[in-house]
């Protein structure tokens, strides 16, 4: 009797499309499918939805955290079913998932949109330093800590200011250096620039992956006396001594220790454990999709969007927007027994904020070729691109993209370039 009661309390649900994750990709796709009449379930545990591209500006004191968040229930279409839970296991052979509450959701198609996990524990002392409100260690990569960055900036009196990019894939890989340029501009405005030794310590072999923008950023760093240390990976923080240790990636077993007065850390990141342990992941834990159709390589009724996928492009909201149109048409085609005709070209964008009123708008594709929207050189620092980043893109996000109407700037680019791109 007890056993039967125990089993019956679990809920079994069915849907045409299950979306696992309610971030940028999950919410945008829920809106697209809901408008098209599909029966959609969204599995998302968080009560609050964040527009993370604003975090850099929050860290620089230009926006507030309240401007970057809205309740999840307000950004999901009312016709979808929101289950406030998270996936516990994928069962692709059975076309189902189980949740942490023990419920089962059966689907015809599944879209995986669960983003990346912040691996604080991969840097010794990082979490403790971030939790300590009096430490000079901060990060823009979490809603829990992003407001601390501006406080650390305001308390800075001089010394080494170090900014890091880890030896792992990260969401918005341009963001770790945006705060460098904002901080440098902040110091100039306060008359403290000559008191600071600013360093950008990155694990990568170049300051940026696209040569055009890398050249401009290198020039910017030389002009503004910012030291760029390549192939250095943060491994340890001693916040009580204000010391940090980096491994030198091109010199095995060699490390270097530095003192700091400010340390902005980009945590290592990886796909959530539930994906890494599943049959859906590739050898390094990412959802194993075809980079063009965004369909899983083995399970043809499973698709992926955003940061958790194996697509070899920078992980940004702009990439999600471009992917969303491809996924929508390919899933609808698959439902109707048609081939997957839409192809994702790897488009992504990184608005590289270089201070309190300028921005380099980097846009590029899988081949790392610039794919710029506007008919002028976006490699220049422009006030117009800063306004786009600060004021216009948030409006597009909340009012257009999350409602399922924004597929990225491809159509605008074709018009402005007279169809040549």
Is 350 annotated as catalytic?
yes
CA 119 to centroid of chain Cα atoms? 14
Return the axis-axis angle of helices 317-335 and 24-35, rounded to nearest 10°: 40
**360-381 as b/e, with b when 16 or more CB fall inside 10 Å?**
bbbbbbbebebbbbbeeebbeb
CA angle, residues 37, 38, 42, in degrees to nearest 5? 125
Is 172 annotated as catalytic?
yes
Phi-psi region of 11 (alpha: psi -120 to 50; beta: other; left: phi over 0): beta
> Cα dihedral sign for 118, 120, 126, 127?
positive
C-alpha distances out from residue 42 to 78, 110, 273, 275, 294, Å: 11, 10, 19, 17, 19
Which among 172, 221, 295, 359 is annotated as catalytic?
A: 172
CA angle, residues 394, 218, 61, in degrees to nearest 5? 35
Which among 27, 138, 350, 359 is annotated as catalytic?
A: 350
How many residues can be counted in the chain? 421
Q: What is the DSSP track for 342-393?
A: ------EEEEEE-SSS-EEEEEE-TT--B--SSSS-TTS-BHHHHHIIIIIH
> How many angstroms separate the CA atoms of 255 and 265, rounded?
17
Active-site residues, by number, are 172, 350
């Amino acid at each position: 009797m007890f056993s039967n009661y125990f089993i019956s309390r679990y809920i079994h649900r069915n849907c045409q499309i299950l979306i696992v994750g309610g971030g940028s990709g999950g919410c945008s796709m829920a809106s697209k499918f809901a408008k098209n009449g599909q029966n959609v379930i969204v599995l998302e545990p968080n009560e609050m939805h964040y527009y993370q591209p604003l975090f850099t500006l929050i860290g620089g004191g230009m926006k507030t955290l309240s401007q970057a968040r809205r309740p999840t229930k307000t950004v999901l279409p009312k016709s979808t079913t929101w289950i406030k839970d998270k996936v516990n296991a994928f069962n692709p052979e059975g076309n189902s998932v189980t949740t942490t509450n023990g419920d089962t959701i059966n689907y015809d198609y599944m879209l995986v949109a669960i983003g990346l996990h912040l691996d604080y524990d991969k840097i010794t002392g990082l979490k403790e330093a971030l939790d300590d409100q009096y430490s000079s260690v901060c990060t823009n990569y979490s809603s829990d800590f992003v407001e601390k960055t501006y406080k650390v900036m305001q308390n800075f009196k001089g010394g080494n200011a170090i900014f890091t990019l880890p030896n792992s894939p990260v969401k918005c890989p341009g963001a770790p250096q945006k705060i460098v340029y904002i901080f440098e501009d902040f110091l100039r405005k306060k008359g403290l620039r000559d008191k600071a030794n600013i360093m950008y310590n990155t694990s990568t072999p170049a300051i940026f992956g696209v040569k055009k923008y890398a050249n401009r950023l290198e020039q910017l760093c030389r002009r503004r006396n910012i030291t760029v240390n390549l192939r250095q990976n943060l491994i340890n923080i001693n916040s009580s001594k204000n010391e940090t240790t980096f491994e030198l990636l091109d010199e095995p077993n060699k490390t270097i220790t530095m003192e700091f007065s400010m340390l902005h850390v980009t945590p290592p990141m990886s796909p959530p454990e539930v994906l890494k342990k599943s049959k859906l992941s590739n050898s390094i834990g990412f959802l194993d999709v075809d980079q063009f159709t965004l369909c899983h390589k083995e399970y043809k009724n499973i698709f992926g969007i955003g940061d958790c996928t194996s697509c070899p492009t920078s992980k940004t909201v702009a990439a999600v927007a471009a992917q969303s149109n491809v996924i929508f048409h390919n899933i609808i085609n698959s439902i109707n027994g048609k081939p997957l005709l839409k192809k994702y070209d790897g488009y992504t964008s990184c608005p590289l904020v270089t201070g309190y009123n300028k921005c380099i708008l980097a846009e590029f594709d899988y081949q790392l070729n610039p794919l710029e929207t506007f008919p002028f050189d976006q490699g220049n620092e422009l006030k117009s691109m800063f306004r786009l980043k600060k004021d216009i893109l948030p409006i597009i996000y909340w009012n257009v993209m999350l409602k399922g109407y924004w597929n990225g700037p491809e159509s605008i680019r074709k018009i402005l370039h007279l169809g040549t791109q």
